[in-house]
Amino acid sequence: MSRTARAFWTTAPGTGELREEELPVLGVSDVEVTAEFSAISRGTEALVLAGAVPPSQHDVMRAPYQSGEFPFPVKYGYLSVGTVTAAGGRVPEMLGRRVFCPHPHQDRYVVPASAVLAVPAAVPAARAVLAGMLETAVNGVWDAQVGVGDRVSVVGAGVLGMLVAALAARVPGTDVELVEVRADRARVAAALGGRLVAPDDARRERDVVLHTSGTGAGLSTGLALLGDEGVLTELSWYGDRPVEVHLGEGFHSRRLAVRASQVGRVPPSRAPRWTPRRRLALAMQLLADDAFDVLLDGESDFEDAARVVPAVVGPGGAALCHRLRSPAAGAPGA
């Protein structure tokens, strides 16, 4: 059997290509995964494709199985689902299992068995790619301390914002608004339990605001929606871009605050009990809900990655969760 694999590499601003590489020898505690789907994370991968990861964050933003170095060339990504087609002598029980792995876009790869998470039978492979983004949303909701009965606004209705709103809507008694300039996403928001409104129509005096739009305008909008002494939880990451935010008017007199949330750390109040793996397993368990399929709005063949990834993450890209489908996944929609 061939020991070569193909992977998508970003090679210059807005440009990528498929490259062949040799697979490493399978260790006794390793698994070889044949990928079915990998999802494109629009926000982060747009910054990677643009070469906009600042030098101070090169180590922090390194994906678990990244190859190469920022800015280019780099093999990046972290939302892959596939089947274990070979297993080392110490992990024979893994053979044949469908698994999630935070691996770049690649058709086959070898990783330690401890790096993969089994996908439950109730979660289709095409939906399981959302696990990494839902894990980020879980962390954000924890950081924001969403409570029973809270009035919650989520600014930005991309995949992350939709997932945050879906989780917040499952807390008893919450009133959840998704604040977004794109009215065509109202149906998706409603399917996940949120109500989509334009910024000018958003309700004020909110108990909790989470920001995911990746824009200074969105951040300013979120601050304007908070009630007194409120805290905005910031989930967007801007790379090397400066962000202009409005801190005038009542920002100081109302004693507002901005708190960062980043999936790299479990919130301190939960860290003694929650590991990142337990958090990821929770996200995977939550994906048994068919409602999340509304976020899956496109598939392309892995062979077309060099054309598709720049189109999806570039200016004007409108996809929510676009996936690259490997031959092992079968026909589109399978």
Give phi and psi for 127, each to the nearest 5: -90, -30
Q: Where are the domains of the chain?
A: 4-130+287-329, 133-260
d(CA 35, CA 140): 28
Q: How much is the average pLDDT of 145-153?
A: 98
Q: Model's pTM, two decimal places?
A: 0.95
Residue pair 328/34 in contact (Cβ under 8 Å)? The answer is yes
Task: Tell me the average pLDDT across 284-302.
Answer: 97
Over 60: is that where the pLDDT of 182 sits?
Answer: yes
Query: What is the CATH T-level fold of the domain 4-130+287-329, as seen in this structure?
Result: Quinone Oxidoreductase; Chain A, domain 1 (3.90.180)
Answer yes or no: are the C-beta atoms of 164 and 140 closer than 8 Å. Answer: yes
Q: Where are the alpha helices (DSSP H) in 156-236?
A: 159-169, 186-191, 216-225
Residue 159 and residue 219: Cα distance in Å, rounded? 17
- Structure tokens that stand for 242 in this block: 């400066």
Average pLDDT (15-19) is 98
Give per-residue pLDDT as tens, 103-112. 999 999 999 9
In the block, which residue shows the tokens 């990528």?
A: 16
Q: Does residue 333 surpass a pLDDT of 60?
A: no
Q: Alpha-carbon distance 244 to 216, whole Å?
A: 5
21 beta partners: 5
> Does the pLDDT at position 233 exceed 70?
yes
First and final CA of the chain: distance in angstroms? 26
Rounded-to-integer distance, Cα 107 and Cα 87, Å = 17
Query: Tens of pLDDT along 304-316?
Result: 999 999 999 988 8
CATH no. of 133-260: 3.40.50.720
Question: Alpha-carbon distance 269 to 248, whole Å?
Answer: 32
Percent of the chain whose pLDDT exceeds 70: 98
User: With bands split at pLDDT 50, 70 and 90, how would you rate the model's confidence at 332?
Assistant: low
Q: Biggest alpha carbon distance in the chain?
A: 68
Q: Is the pLDDT of residue 178 over 90?
A: yes
| Lowest-confidence segment of 184-198, 237-251, 319-333 by average pLDDT | 319-333
Return the pLDDT at 211. Answer: 98
Q: Looking at residue 289, what is its pLDDT?
A: 98
What is the average per-residue pLDDT within 220-232?
98
**253-272: per-residue pLDDT in tens?**
999 999 999 999 999 999 99
Are 99 and 277 in contact by the 8 Å Cβ rule? The answer is no
